[in-house]
C-alpha cells in the first residue's frame, strides 16, 4: 500500500480504538441514574468502574484527530468546517463530563451530587448520539463545492439517515456500557447491569441493523456487506451471551460489533473521504487530501515508535485496575 492508504487505515484503527474504549464510558455514564438509582454507594460503584480509565480512553480521540490533521489536512479542514456545531457540542459535553467526574465528590450534599450526576449523563449521552450523526453524514456526503467549502447547515446534517446513525451508536454504546459494568462490578450494580444489557440488546441490534442496511443500500459493496453482517451478528451473540451470564465473552462480542461497524463506515469512505452531494466531481478524495510523501514518511516513523508505547501503557493500566468494583471499595 502507498502511504496515504496506510495512514487512512491507521486513522480508521485509531477511531475504532476510540469508539471501543470510550464507547463503554459513554454507556456507563448514560446508565448512571438507572444502575445507581438505589443509593449513592451504587452510583459511586458505577463511576469508579470507569474512574481509572475514562480520561486515558480520550487519548485515542486526540490521536485520531491529530493524525487526520497531519496526514490529511484537507479532510480535517472539511470536517471541522462542515461539522463545526456537532463537534463543538461534543467538545462541550466531554468537558462537562470531565468536570463532573472531578467535582461530584467535592461537597457532601445530595443536591450537589445530583446536579453533577445529570452533567455526567449529558456529557455521555450527547457524544454517544452525536458521533453517530457526524459519521453518518461523512458517509452520506455534504454539500461540498469545487472550492472545497462545505455549504451544509445544521438542518442538513439532521437528516433521517444521520438520526438513525445517532440512534444506532447511542444504543450500541449503552449496551456496551451495561455489559462492561456486568463484567467490572459485583453486587446489585452487576445484577442491574445484566438486566439492562438483556433489555438493551434487541433495541441496539435493531438500530444497528437498520443503520448498516441503509448504509449498505446507498453506499455499500460486497465487502462492506460481510463486515456489516458480522457487526450485527456479533451484537446478537453478545445479547445471548449476557443472558447466559458470560460477561467476558459478551463484552468481546460488543467490542467486535463496534469495531466491525467502524470498519464498515471507513470502508465506504474509501477513496472519497468527503463525498459531495452537489457533484461527484467535487468529492474530496484520499489522494487530494493527503499530505506530501515526505510528511507522511516522517509521521510513519513517529507513529511506529509511539503507538506501541501508548497501547502498552493503556494495557498495563487496564491490567492494574482489572478487579471488580463493589460497595466495599467505596464505603
Tens digits of per-residue pLDDT, 200-246? 999 999 999 999 999 999 998 999 999 999 999 999 999 899 989 89
Q: For 250-260, b where at least 16 C-beta lie within 10 A, e where not — what string? A: bbbbbbbbbbb
Residue 69 clears pLDDT 70, i.e. is over it: yes
Rounded mean pLDDT, 300-313:
88
Per-residue pLDDT at 23: 95
Share of the chain above pLDDT 90, in %: 73
DSSP secondary structure letters along 75-126: HHHHHHHHTHHHHHHHHHHHHHHHHHHHHTTSS--HHHHHHHHHHHHHHHHH
Indicate whether 331 pLDDT > 70. no
Distances (CA, A) of 227 to 111, 206, 240: 46, 16, 20
- Enter the DSSP assignment of 284: E
pLDDT at 148: 76
The whole-number pLDDT of residue 30 equals: 96
Whole-prediction pTM: 0.94
For residue 38, pLDDT over 80 is answered with no
Specify the pLDDT at position 135.
Answer: 96
**150 three-state secondary structure:** strand
End-to-end Cα separation, the chain, in angstroms: 55
Predicted pLDDT of residue 264: 95
Residue 79's pLDDT band, with cuts at 50, 70 and 90, is confident
pLDDT band at residue 306 using 50, 70 and 90 as cut-offs: confident
Q: What is the mean pLDDT of residues 22-39?
A: 92
Strand (E) positions, 119-251? none
CA–CA gap between residue 211 and residue 169 (Å, rounded): 9
pLDDT at 224: 93
Cell of 315: 494495557
Mean pLDDT value across the chain:
92
Q: How far is CA 137 from CA 35, 44, 150, in A?
A: 33, 37, 12
Q: Bigger pLDDT: 232 or 81?
A: 232
Give the pLDDT confidence score for residue 63 in this predicted structure. 93
Give the other-Cβ count within 10 Å of 276's Cβ.
Answer: 21
- pLDDT in the model for residue 46: 93
pLDDT recorded at residue 119: 96
Mean pLDDT for 258-286 is 93
Containing 272, the helix (H) or strand (E) segment is strand 272-274
Which has the higher per-residue pLDDT, 56 or 1?
A: 56
Amino acid at each position: 500500500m502507498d502511504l496515504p492508504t496506510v495512514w487512512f487505515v491507521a486513522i480508521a484503527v485509531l477511531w475504532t480504538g476510540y469508539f471501543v474504549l470510550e464507547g463503554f464510558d459513554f454507556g456507563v455514564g448514560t446508565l448512571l441514574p438507572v444502575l445507581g438509582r438505589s443509593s449513592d454507594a451504587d452510583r459511586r460503584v458505577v463511576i469508579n468502574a470507569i474512574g481509572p480509565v475514562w480520561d486515558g480512553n480520550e487519548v485515542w480521540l486526540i490521536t485520531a484527530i491529530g493524525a487526520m490533521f497531519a496526514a490529511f489536512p484537507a479532510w480535517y479542514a472539511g470536517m471541522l468546517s462542515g461539522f463545526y456545531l456537532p463537534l463543538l457540542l461534543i467538545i462541550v459535553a466531554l468537558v462537562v463530563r470531565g468536570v463532573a467526574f472531578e467535582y461530584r465528590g467535592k461537597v457532601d450534599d445530595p443536591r450537589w451530587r445530583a446536579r453533577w450526576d445529570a452533567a455526567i449523563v449529558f456529557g455521555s449521552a450527547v457524544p454517544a448520539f452525536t458521533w453517530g450523526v457526524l459519521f453518518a453524514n461523512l458517509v452520506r456526503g455534504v454539500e461540498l463545492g469545487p472550492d472545497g467549502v462545505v455549504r451544509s447547515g445544521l438542518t442538513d446534517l439532521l437528516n433521517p439517515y444521520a438520526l438513525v446513525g445517532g440512534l444506532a451508536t447511542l444504543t450500541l454504546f449503552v449496551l456496551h456500557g451495561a455489559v462492561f459494568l456486568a463484567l467490572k462490578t459485583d453486587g446489585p450494580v452487576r445484577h442491574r447491569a445484566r438486566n439492562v444489557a438483556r433489555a438493551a440488546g434487541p433495541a441496539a441490534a435493531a438500530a444497528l441493523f437498520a443503520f448498516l442496511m441503509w448504509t449498505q443500500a446507498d453506499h455499500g459493496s460486497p465487502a462492506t456487506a460481510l463486515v456489516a453482517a458480522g457487526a450485527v451478528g456479533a451484537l446478537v451473540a453478545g445479547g445471548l451471551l449476557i443472558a447466559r451470564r458470560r460477561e467476558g465473552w459478551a463484552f468481546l462480542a460488543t467490542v467486535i460489533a463496534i469495531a466491525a461497524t467502524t470498519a464498515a463506515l471507513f470502508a465506504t469512505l474509501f477513496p472519497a473521504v468527503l463525498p459531495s452531494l452537489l457533484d461527484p466531481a467535487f468529492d474530496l478524495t484520499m489522494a487530494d487530501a493527503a499530505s506530501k510523501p515526505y510528511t507522511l514518511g516522517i509521521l510513519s516513523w513517529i507513529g511506529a515508535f509511539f503507538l506501541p508505547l501508548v497501547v502498552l501503557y493503556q494495557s498495563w493500566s487496564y491490567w492494574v485496575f482489572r478487579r471488580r468494583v463493589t460497595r466495599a471499595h467505596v464505603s
